[in-house]
Structures are given as C-alpha cells and as structure tokens.
Chain A
C-alpha cells in the first residue's frame, strides 16, 4: 500500500500534474534555459538534486521548528506550556533554507567534484528564484506528506521539470531552421509550442492509478 502511494505520487508529479506544463511552476528557467539541449540537461539535473534536498530540509524545518507539534524544538528547548504555532513564518524560512542550501551545495560541489561543478555550477545560482523549488516544498506541506513522500515528490517533480525542459530544448533546436512568421520568432512561438505540449500532457489526466 505504501509503495503504491509513492508510485502514485511519482506518476502524478511527472505526468498528470507535470510541474511545468500543468502546474505552471518554473516557467522562467523553462523558457530561458531551453535553447540548447546540453544546458537543458545540466539545468534539469541541478533542479532534481536541489529539489530533493530542499524537500528534505524544509520538511524538517517545518515539522521541527514551525508547526505546533509535540516535536517542536522550541517547545522542548524553552519548556513552553504548549507547542508554538510559527507556521506564519513558512514562506520566509523556506526561501532562506533554499537559498542557503543552494549556496552550500555550490561550495561543496566546487570543492569535491570540479567536473560536476563545471556541468552544474552556472545553473545553481539561478535555482534560488526558481519557483518550482519553493513550490514543491509548499505543496509537500499543504498536502501533509510525510518525510518519505516529500522526498519522493521532490525528486519526481525534478524529473518532471527535466522531462519538459529537455523535450522543449529538442524542439527549439529544430525550430532554429523552421519558417515561422517574424513576429512569432523566439519566445512567442516557444509559448505556443508549450501549449501544444501541455495539450499532450493533459491526456495523462485520464490515467487510472
């Protein structure tokens, strides 16, 4: 049963509610980094990595620092009479956690694996303001997922993002030579193509899992 629930989360995050094409999260990098296949793959890997880590870190922050649960650390440290409800700080804490995490990951990769740094390094700073990252962490909390489910949703959302990005990059490389009206060249035609891809992804809504 547990495994089945996780499988549903994976399929939903990648196909049925694809983060880019159905949920509209991470549109800016989707349009900005989809001009070449190589950079699309690099960005996608960086996003998968950070999303999974961010899901983990924000889940801990939410349930051990902010939410009024018996595990709340402030409740234990200051010996309060009842667990404090600090959930109103969610947005600010999550964005700071993500920003710190991205910085940290960048430093670690730079020190430990120069090859990986060359591949992902330039995409990491862009990720802090990628709304898909904050989006997935907020969704994890909104849907009251447990730690495992949050991690799975984080990774799957990253895969969904990468899938949309790589598909788009492949199409846009071909588009370079296509004959399209002058006014539609560049971003407008990319959006119209995204519309067509979105129609295709709507078809997944009928999957019965």
Chain B
C-alpha cells in the first residue's frame, strides 16, 4: 500500500481504538462521578441549611439559570425553612464563591466556601479549620447573623477579619451581604418572625415559583474592597 495513505490510516485506527477503550472506561466511571458530584452538592446544601435535611431542597431557575434554592423541612414542600444561594465576591487573588443558607426570617444558618484561590496562609484562612475543631472558624462567625450585621470589624462590623487578609475577609462578608439584598428583592422580603422559634408549617410568605422571580442576574457582588493594605 502507498505509504502516504498507510501511515495516516494506521494512526487514525489507533486513535479510534483508543477512543473506544476510553468510552468504555468513561461509561464505567461516569455513574460514580455523577453520584459523587450530586452527593457533594447535596451535602453542601444540607450543611448550610441543616433543617432541610429531612425535607427537600428545590432549585429555582429562571431561563435555565440557577437563581437560588428553597429548602423545605418536609418532603411535601409545605414547611419552608429557608433559602440557599451562591454569593460571589472578588477577593485578593480570586473570585470567592460561597454557598449561603438563610432562613425565612433572613438569619444566616450556615455558609460554605465553594471556591477560592486566595493566598495560602493568609486569605485562604477563610477555609482554615483549626486543629481539633470541626468547622472553619472564620465561617462559623456568620451563623445567626442578619444582613445588617455583615461588615468586618475594621469597617465597624461584627465579623472578625483574618489578620493580614482584610481584603479576603471583607470580600467574602460584603459579597454575602449584597447577595442577601439581591435575594430579598427576588423573594419580596423576609418574614418578620424568626420561624426557628415556632415552626408552625406555614410562615406567611407567598410561595415563590420560578416564573415570577423578577431579577435575572446571578447573585454577584462587584464590591471589591477599596483600599487598606
């Protein structure tokens, strides 16, 4: 056979065989990879909104894009316990993405940093778990806070910022505060009563469906900390 034809044919055949072998491996591992991803998402969601653990967490989408999640304490979606959303803020060297669980009265129940590439040892301490502790100490501070409490100590607020990493601390704190404001607009305000006290099944907030959500933009903060270094 002509060499000019033979060589590419051999190369193509090899590539096709390789692709076939990879397709098999892909089929074998795909269910597990998908299950891992789903489990990781579910774990993160229930971690920030623990009371929805026994119930369901329903994503609210608008034109295919995720807006936020609504968490219910029961499977039949009667007892709404709160919302979960992703806050994004520009930190020192990366965009910090945080999953935030908030109850119907607007009180933070839990947060989890999903993505950050801050400086190791400084900004990356937003995810640091001190030895002997279970949860990252910086994030634990947010539990039980309302929107208005969310400023770092250097700005006169209640969140204790990380030494040497004010920009990262402030970016995270401000992004959550702004994301809560966005969420408030979308859901038409929080309930006056803290339903953690009286979980009575109905809490008076009109049920939100995807179609009536006003804003479209993802919950994104543009608030980069201005100065201070």
A209 CB to closest chain B CB, in angstroms? 9
| B25 contact set on A, CB distance < 8 A | 88
Which residues B206-229 have CB closer than 8 A to chain A?
224, 229
The residue from B18, B92, B93, B119 contacting A92, defined by CB atoms under 8 A apart:
B18
B26 (CB) vs chain A CBs: closest residue: A88
Q: Which residue of A lies closest to B29 (CB)?
A: A88
Query: With the chains together, A208 CA to B229 CA distance in Å?
Result: 11
* Among B18, B25, B93, residue most surrounded by chain A Cβ atoms (within 10 Å): B93
Residue on B nearest A96 in the bound complex, by CB? B15
In this assembly, does B23 line the interface, its C-beta being within 8 Å of a C-beta of chain A?
Answer: yes
- Does B22 have its Cβ within 8 Å of any Cβ on chain A? yes
Contact size range, B: 10 to 19
The answer to whether B19 touches A89 (Cβ under 8 A) is: yes
Kindly identify, within residues 1 to 39 of chain B, every residue whose CB is under 8 Å from any CB belonging to chain A.
Answer: 15, 18-19, 22-23, 25-26
Whether A16 pairs with B224 at a CB distance below 8 angstroms is no
The CA-CA distance from A16 to B91 in the complex, in Å, is 13
Instruction: Give how many A-B residue pairs fall within 8 Å (CB-CB).
Output: 18
Contact B15 A205 (CB under 8 A): no
A89 contacts B224, C-beta separation under 8 Å: no
A181, CB-defined interface residue at 8 Å:
no
Instruction: Name the A residues within 8 Å of B19 (CB-CB).
Output: 89, 92
Instruction: Note all chain A residues with C-beta closer than 8 A to B22.
Output: 88-89, 92
Kindly list chain B residues whose C-beta atoms are within 8 Å of the C-beta of A88.
22-23, 25-26
Interchain CB contact (< 8 A) of B92 among A89, A96, A205 = A205
B-contacting residues of A (Cβ < 8 Å)?
A: 16, 88-89, 92, 96, 205-206, 208
Offer 17 A-B interface pairs, CB within 8 angstroms, sorted by A: A16-B93, A88-B22, A88-B23, A88-B25, A88-B26, A89-B19, A89-B22, A92-B15, A92-B18, A92-B19, A92-B22, A96-B15, A205-B92, A205-B93, A205-B119, A206-B92, A208-B224
